[in-house]
Structure 1
Amino acid sequence: MWNKIAIFIIKNRLRLLILLALLTAFMGYKAKDAEMSYDFANVVSPDDPDMVYFQRFKETFGEDGNILVVGMQSAKAYKLDNFRELKSLSDQLNTVEGVKAVISLPNLIQVVKDTADRKFTTAPIFNPMPQTQAQLDSMLRVVRSQGFYDGQIINQKTGATLLAVTVDPDYLNSARRVQVMDDVMAHTEAFSKKTGIKLHYAGLPFVRAVMTTKVAAEMKMFLVLALLVTGITLFIFFRSFYAVIFPLLMISMVVVWVLGTLAILDYKISLLTGLIPAILVVIGIPNTTYLLTRYHYDYRKHGNKIMALARVISKIGVVNLVTNTTTAIGFIVFTFTHVAILYEFGVVAGINIFVTYIISIVLIPVVFSYLPPPTPRQLRHLDAKPLNKFLEFLDHLVHHKRHLVYFFTIVALLASFWGIYKVKTVSYMVDDLPAESSVNADLAFFEHHFSGVMPLEIIVDTGIKQGVMRLPNLNKLNQLEDFLRTQPILSAPISIVGLVKTATQAFYEGDPNSYRLPDNTERNFVFSYLAKQDSGDNQRLLRSFVDSTGQTARISLKVADAGSRELDTLIISKIKPELHEIYGGEGVSVTEEGNTMTFTRDETGAETKVSLTGTTLLFIKGNEYLINNLRSSLVLAFVLVTIVIALLFKSARVVIISVIPNMIPLLIAGGLMGVFNIPLKPSTALIFSIALGIAIDDSIHFLAKYRSELLSNGFHVSRAITTSLTEAGTSMIYTSIILFFGFVIFAFSEFGGTKALGVLMSVSLLIALFTNLIILPTLLMSFDSGKYKRDPYALIEHYDEFYLEHEDEELDLNQLKLKFEEELPEEVSA
């Protein structure tokens, strides 16, 4: 069959080139519609109890992750001229399209008592704007007397203050976010330049905008680097510009197909899918390396270009199909995770790995059929003395130093298990940006002055309409808030409790000592004023922290990006026990579902539900969910790869022997993670199934060559291994070097996860090269007798990687009738 395919491709080469060009042009047309992702993907299952609750929370209280904060700590901010500039900045930001509200020092309000109408009203503190420094200082003292703002807008101990810019969610989750951020930054940078006050930025809108911009920039950078590195490597190996230009043309076409696939499937370019073009450049080039190496081997054997190209297709074509299948398995397994970002990554990568195979098996032979045959200089790489000496050294190890191979393998595995034991699983909201980045520096500013900016919510459902405003419930909320203030990674909480305390303070004419909950005697007076609230600012603020029925209260917090482990400790070991203390007790039973605790009074059946939710918790839980899914993906990849090997060789012994050398690199990579304190997170867990799918290719090439050499050497294992190392080893080394340098480029990423992926992947594949060149043949020497019966159901029996004259069905090359074709030797024509 493959001989017929070879003849078909070469005979119809012009038609196939035109068809490839037209299809690629169509995909290029679709590629223009590929869009960037502007949202943190929801990776937690929609049916997960915490996700279900979070969606209900957003329906009641709105988005919790749509606030951009701009902070400053400078005495200049409290000078009259600069304060006026700050007021002007606040007004300007309010006019930016996509900004819903701005809260800052100059536009703060205070609650005042209207004795005539016996209600509370609100009034701007800085109205009219102060005209002298003395007036400003007096008004600032009023702000500092408002306990509600301490730790929220101003830190009275350090003098830091911030602006909170609320972004419309419709803008936040679309390409319009970039314009909103640019407009905001234009105003804030102008303010900073005019006043000399350094500004710090944080909040999910800002972090997402920064990451989106960097993803787009790095996608282009890695694509260029991948093409450059693979191009240089190909030239060093083959000493031919043709062997560089056309493989790069082939892989450039694949990049167009990737972007077109994203657009057709309506997937966005995310941190993961943005890596696919560069990854496919790296793993696609080995297709051409095997094709060109075989082409050069065959051409040197008989000097006929067309016959050599036809045999490239008929012999290497099927081997590359199998190796591309195993590579694709490493990606396709992600489609079984039911996680959108992984599913999309797996689908697009899996499809385009096979696209890479089809383009390479058509384009490379066809193009080289038009080009002059390789020169002696271009064939010189087949006799590279340093490479041959190195392969001879490996052959010596396999034949004479097997005990050392096994010894050092066992030592490496023991060290790896020790390292794996030390691996920690931890995730951060801003997980991928380097420690020295301005984003992390700004986060450190807010964590120091305001204990963080990542949203965390605690929702208390009293179980009774208007139950929130009952004094016992308010006291319990206040007790919880007092506890939360003692936690160093949490900001000062803000809730209905703060509003009631502010109302009590207003009732006593703004006395700072009266910022507290009213007692039983004061309750009726204060609450009678609150009951007369209209639909003004105070009422809207009230509705931000209590639902429309008055049954559910919201405590809004900000948390430092301390990592999933510390956050889990805070919730499980501190907050939940405190909730037991406050809402539990004798005669109260407690049940938990996810992060929701239900306290039921046994005698009455009355329930109080306390839930922890928010973007931060869902993001951290999503990362843990991803890691668990990636572990399952690795197991599935291992099973599928094993099935492929079993179908190829129909031998349990060969399956075991081939899998061992490819599991060792993964174990060593896991050990290195523990030794160098690289945490297990989605980006690092991702590499294992991908590396397995790619690394197994070397085993397939080696075993295919080994099987054919057994046949031609009378089932003599030692000679078959020596020949396999010499001939298959060359291509294995070429492709592994390309893969190594190709993945190393990701180490230049600003994203920590991408950097770790690049380093661990390149190291894993380099180690896999040595395990397949040393441990695999060593195992064959020790455990394979070399004797086997041909099995018509084993796929390996239907092809040989290298040409065997006595078995090859002759190619009827005279069918091709190529105009420029040299005369075929009589002995090879049918």
Structure 2
Amino acid sequence: MFKLFTKSFWDVVARLILRNKIAIILGVLIATGLLATQWKHMRFTYTEANLLPDDHPINIEYNDFLNIFGEEGNLIVLGVKDSTLFTIEKLNAWNKLSQSLKKAAEVETVVSIKDLQKLIKDNKKEQFVLEPFIKDSITSMKQIDVLQEELFEKYPFYDNFLFNKETKTVRTAIYLKKDIVNTPVRKDFVFQNLIPEIKAFEAQTHLDVRVSGMPYVRTLNAQNIVDEIGKFIGLALAVTSLIFFFFFRSLRATFISLVVVSFGVMWTFGIIGLLKYEITVLTALIPPLIIVIGIPNCIFLINKYQHEVKLHGNKVKSLQRVITKIGNATLMTNVTTASGFATFILTESQLLKEFGIVASLSILAIFILCLLIIPIIYTFLPYPKDRHLEHLNKRWIGGFVDWMERMVKQKRIAIYITSVALLILSIIGIFQIKISGSLIEDMSKKADFFQDIRFFEEEFNGIMPLEILVDTKRKKGVMKLSTLKRMEELEEVISETPSLSKPISVVSLVKYSKQAYYNGNPKYYQLPTSQEKNFIMTYAKNSSSEIDLLKNFVDSTGQYARITTFMKDIGTDKMERIEENLQNKVNKVFPKDKFDVTMTGKALVFQKGTKYLVKNLAISLSLAILLISIFMAYMFRSFRMIVISLIPNLLPLVVTAGLMGYLNVPIKPSTILVFSIAFGISVDDTIHFLAKYRQELQANHWKIKKSVYAALRETGVSMFYTSIVLFFGFLVFTFSSFGGTVALGALVSATLLFAMLSNLLLLPSLLLSLERSIANKQVLRQPTINIIPEENDDDENLDDSEE
């Protein structure tokens, strides 16, 4: 009954498409136009990818911190490591640059050498006052010598913040207004103000200025994503069309395929705009992905059309058969591919949900476009010429099919031994896989801003903020001497950690206040005693400038304090050890009944998010396997067939995971996608093969060997064609400047290549070896879904007038 329904359904679809050509083409154009109107809603992300659910405890802690102290990633730093900076002309130019940037509307404040203030005790007014190191412009080398002596020897408060006294590296800190950090205004400031002024300064002084800080890095990284979308779409179109032309030797067929996938790309952008999603490093991959996945659809449909034309020469009948016989199979394979992506929707990560929704909808959209556009265009074109059909008789393809058949016939034991050996080696490799939670690891290693990140890591121990929030559970609890001493103990551990920078907090300010109280003597840069604290606090309370300094490190109630440090780009393992070390100190120094101390910051949130995604990897892959297993069960109604179909598709995933371990490719947000994507695509070949195998069983009176070899010969060529297109299509991503995208492209390409060989060698071998247990199953005689209709099905002919 279902078989008849399926046949009649596709007959109806064929009639509707071929009899309503103009209306359908107009409908496609109108739909494309409507989706194009949604492109204006597309926007590029201005924040880091948040891999955790909104209600995750780590996210809640981070948001609590932001509510108290505001955006923490608003610092841009400029650095110069050049002894000639300390000359009159160049130092004045450096100070002038800082003052110029300070005038920008987007800047909250700039702290440079020119802005550094000495905290001076005013005995008459019993208050502290600020006195600049440089009152006006530098006029003599003597002033510079005095400045260097004071900075590098007398005022440890500024050490390792604006200069490195060991290497004499100097930097300027630019704090952007917190409300513009995650908006397009940030991009305008970086490209229209910051970069032009720095280039002008470099041209004037011949100094090399290094620039970094999360707002700057994120802006340039986002621009790289924008630039790569166009590059990838162009490369994907070029590579897949070249391969397509190599196979078909037809400019007409190649052009038609390019038209179809171009519409698919336009629809993808429309879907992103319609859903008002941001374009992230993941969603940016979808347009070229649709090209790579869409071309195999075109191959199946055009190959079938040319095969039918060569068989009987009736164009209309050929196009009808393309829809009725290939439409169902292509639908099933696109559904399984979309399912692999759709499993990400069920994760709790918003980033992955959006990727899964857009990718799965786009895959279904490209299927619809292929099915509608290709048959309709061919109705208006003349018959294919003989040279367009020559590829159907290529000798080298015949040789490849003969090799496969010979391997399955004569080398089955070798195939099994190789498969088991690969499985064992891969499992060993899997145990060597590491997890990476780095914010910058996937960024372009060749980009200037990446080299600048490494520069600041070497000179100042990193640029990625790590925040520690201290809740004293009572108002004005921060300024108690006991609290300050506890914070100092924790800061000592931070200072001793090689991967963390010198911490900045209220403790440093209080130490600086004591130094000022003792007339700037650096040996008094320490926390005051309880007696000294009373005198110093009297001065501090009378000093508005001191209160202004405190506001960045203590909240208005005096209940919360922050300790800010910056970390290098370190691996997850090192980060976990540092976190554990700091937590042990917190547990020891801060009693839980009196204090709540939490570690947070963008780098830590991202690292936790990566670990969270690893758990989601297992969930999404398990869901993909479950969904496709249910689908196979519904098609074949046989548990053994499910097992047989899964083995050749799971083995390539295990091999790829093993390769990741051996090649030291870590699990991270980009490589996590590999498995579900590859599984969803590779299982398409299995469906095609098994559907043809079942058809051959009926045609050959249930002779297993004859049916397996016939299915291998029939589907081997198409599987080879599509696998090659997919292999080189995903290989395009290796041209990316993002390490994660390169890894994704290389791993998916490798997995699909393994999957092709597995489906062409291991799958038929298993069918032959297990023939007794599956050969006579009634389920294979009457499947739930008849994917490929029988060749002897009657065609409902359309006369030429209906063309």
TM-based fold match above 0.5: yes
Counterpart in the other structure of 1:519: 529
Q: CA offsets per residue over residues 306-345 of structure 1, 9 Å max, x none?
A: 1011000001001101000000001111111121111111
Q: Say whether the 8 Å CA contact 1:41–1:340 is kept in structure 2.
A: no
Q: Residues 738-753 of structure 1: matches in 2 within 5 Å?
A: 738-753=725-740
Alignment partner of 1:306: what SS? Answer: helix
Note the C-alpha offset of 1:436.
4.2
Counterpart in the other structure of 1:587: none
**Match for residue 58 of structure 2 among 37, 45, 50:** 50
How many residues in Structure 1 have an aligned counterpart in Structure 2? 791
Shifted more, 215-224 versus 457-466: the winner is 457-466
Counterpart in the other structure of 1:349: 359
Counterpart in the other structure of 2:308: 298
Alignment partner of 1:810: what SS? Answer: coil
The one-letter code matched in structure 2 to 1:424 is K
Note the C-alpha offset of 1:379.
1.2
Counterpart in the other structure of 2:5: none
Note the C-alpha offset of 1:482.
1.9
Counterpart in the other structure of 1:64: 72
Distance 1:795 1:357 in 2: 22
Counterpart in the other structure of 2:132: 124
Q: 1:25 aligned to 2:53?
A: no
**Match for residue 583 of structure 1 among 568, 578, 590:** 590
Q: Write out the 4+ residue segments of structure 1 that deviate beyond 6 Å after TM superposition.
A: none
Alignment partner of 2:765: what SS? Answer: helix
Q: Say whether the 8 Å CA contact 2:53–2:350 is kept in structure 1.
A: no
Q: Say whether the 8 Å CA contact 1:631–1:685 is kept in structure 2.
A: no
Counterpart in the other structure of 1:817: 801
The one-letter code matched in structure 2 to 1:812 is N
Note the C-alpha offset of 1:114.
1.2
Q: Residues 414-433 of structure 1: matches in 2 within 5 Å?
A: 414-433=424-443
Note the C-alpha offset of 1:468.
1.9
Alignment partner of 1:122: what SS? Answer: strand
Q: Say whether the 8 Å CA contact 2:471–2:595 is kept in structure 1.
A: yes
CA RMSD of aligned residues (A): 1.5
Note the C-alpha offset of 1:134.
0.7
The one-letter code matched in structure 2 to 1:705 is K
Q: TM-score, normalised by structure 2?
A: 0.96
Distance 1:260 1:97 in 2: 35
The one-letter code matched in structure 2 to 1:29 is T
Counterpart in the other structure of 2:501: 491
Q: TM-score, normalised by structure 1?
A: 0.93
- Note closer, same or farther for the CA distance 1:153–1:576 as it changes in structure 2 (3 Å cut): same
Q: CA offsets per residue over residues 16-41 of structure 1, 9 Å max, x none?
A: 11111121122223224322111113
The one-letter code matched in structure 2 to 1:92 is S
Alignment partner of 1:817: what SS? Answer: helix
Distance 1:204 1:358 in 2: 42
Counterpart in the other structure of 1:633: 620
Counterpart in the other structure of 1:3: 11
**Match for residue 505 of structure 1 among 515, 533, 536:** 515
**Match for residue 713 of structure 2 among 726, 737, 741:** 726
Note the C-alpha offset of 1:793.
7.7
Identity of counterpart residues, as a percentage?
Answer: 36
Counterpart in the other structure of 1:784: 771
Distance 1:571 1:149 in 2: 26
Note the C-alpha offset of 1:467.
2.1
Counterpart in the other structure of 1:703: 690
Alignment partner of 1:501: what SS? Answer: helix
Distance 2:578 2:211 in 1: 26
Note the C-alpha offset of 1:621.
1.1
Alignment partner of 2:769: what SS? Answer: helix
Q: Residues 378-457 of structure 1: matches in 2 within 5 Å?
A: 378-457=388-467
Counterpart in the other structure of 2:331: 321
The one-letter code matched in structure 1 to 2:718 is S
Note the C-alpha offset of 1:507.
0.8
Q: Residues 603-618 of structure 1: matches in 2 within 5 Å?
A: 607-618=594-605
**Match for residue 83 of structure 2 among 63, 75, 81:** 75
Q: Residues 761-780 of structure 1: matches in 2 within 5 Å?
A: 761-780=748-767
Note the C-alpha offset of 1:55.
1.1
Q: CA offsets per residue over residues 395-434 of structure 1, 9 Å max, x none?
A: 1111222111111111111111111111111221102124
Distance 1:31 1:542 in 2: 46
The one-letter code matched in structure 2 to 1:19 is G
Distance 2:194 2:767 in 1: 65
Q: 1:800 aligned to 2:800?
A: no
Q: 1:221 aligned to 2:208?
A: no
Note the C-alpha offset of 1:462.
2.4
Note the C-alpha offset of 1:518.
1.4
The one-letter code matched in structure 2 to 1:460 is V
Note the C-alpha offset of 1:438.
2.4
Q: CA offsets per residue over residues 336-377 of structure 1, 9 Å max, x none?
A: 112111111111111111111111001001101111112221
Q: Say whether the 8 Å CA contact 1:96–1:184 is kept in structure 2.
A: no
Distance 1:52 1:155 in 2: 36
Distance 2:680 2:345 in 1: 15
Distance 1:799 1:122 in 2: 81
Note the C-alpha offset of 1:521.
3.5
Counterpart in the other structure of 1:595: none
- Note closer, same or farther for the CA distance 1:462–1:33 as it changes in structure 2 (3 Å cut): closer
The one-letter code matched in structure 1 to 2:801 is K
Alignment partner of 1:660: what SS? Answer: helix
Q: 1:41 aligned to 2:35?
A: no
**Match for residue 634 of structure 2 among 647, 652, 665:** 647
Q: 1:561 aligned to 2:569?
A: yes
The one-letter code matched in structure 1 to 2:698 is L
Q: Say whether the 8 Å CA contact 1:687–1:761 is kept in structure 2.
A: yes
Shifted more, 124-133 versus 64-73: the winner is 124-133
Q: CA offsets per residue over residues 140-186 of structure 1, 9 Å max, x none?
A: 32333111100111111110111111122333212222211111111
Counterpart in the other structure of 1:594: none
Distance 2:566 2:656 in 1: 36
Note the C-alpha offset of 1:578.
2.0
Alignment partner of 2:496: what SS? Answer: coil
**Match for residue 282 of structure 1 among 278, 292, 295:** 292
Shifted more, 331-340 versus 514-523: the winner is 514-523
The one-letter code matched in structure 2 to 1:219 is I
Distance 1:138 1:752 in 2: 47
Counterpart in the other structure of 1:136: 144
Distance 1:794 1:172 in 2: 58
Distance 1:21 1:351 in 2: 18
Distance 2:278 2:343 in 1: 20
Unaligned runs of 5+ in 2: 1-8
Distance 2:557 2:179 in 1: 27
Alignment partner of 2:121: what SS? Answer: strand
Q: Say whether the 8 Å CA contact 2:540–2:547 is kept in structure 1.
A: no
The one-letter code matched in structure 2 to 1:96 is A
Alignment partner of 2:778: what SS? Answer: coil
Q: Say whether the 8 Å CA contact 1:468–1:553 is kept in structure 2.
A: yes
Alignment partner of 1:546: what SS? Answer: coil
**Match for residue 15 of structure 1 among 20, 23, 47:** 23
Distance 1:275 1:306 in 2: 38
Alignment partner of 1:460: what SS? Answer: strand
Counterpart in the other structure of 2:6: none
Note the C-alpha offset of 1:271.
0.5
Distance 2:45 2:105 in 1: 21
Q: Say whether the 8 Å CA contact 1:83–1:106 is kept in structure 2.
A: no
Distance 1:495 1:34 in 2: 40
Distance 1:21 1:462 in 2: 63
Q: Say whether the 8 Å CA contact 1:402–1:778 is kept in structure 2.
A: yes
**Match for residue 362 of structure 1 among 372, 377, 388:** 372
Note the C-alpha offset of 1:778.
0.4
Q: Say whether the 8 Å CA contact 1:429–1:616 is kept in structure 2.
A: yes
Shifted more, 634-643 versus 97-106: the winner is 97-106
Alignment partner of 2:651: what SS? Answer: helix
Distance 1:771 1:349 in 2: 26
Alignment partner of 1:485: what SS? Answer: helix
Q: Say whether the 8 Å CA contact 1:61–1:547 is kept in structure 2.
A: yes
Q: CA offsets per residue over residues 651-670 of structure 1, 9 Å max, x none?
A: 11111111100001101100
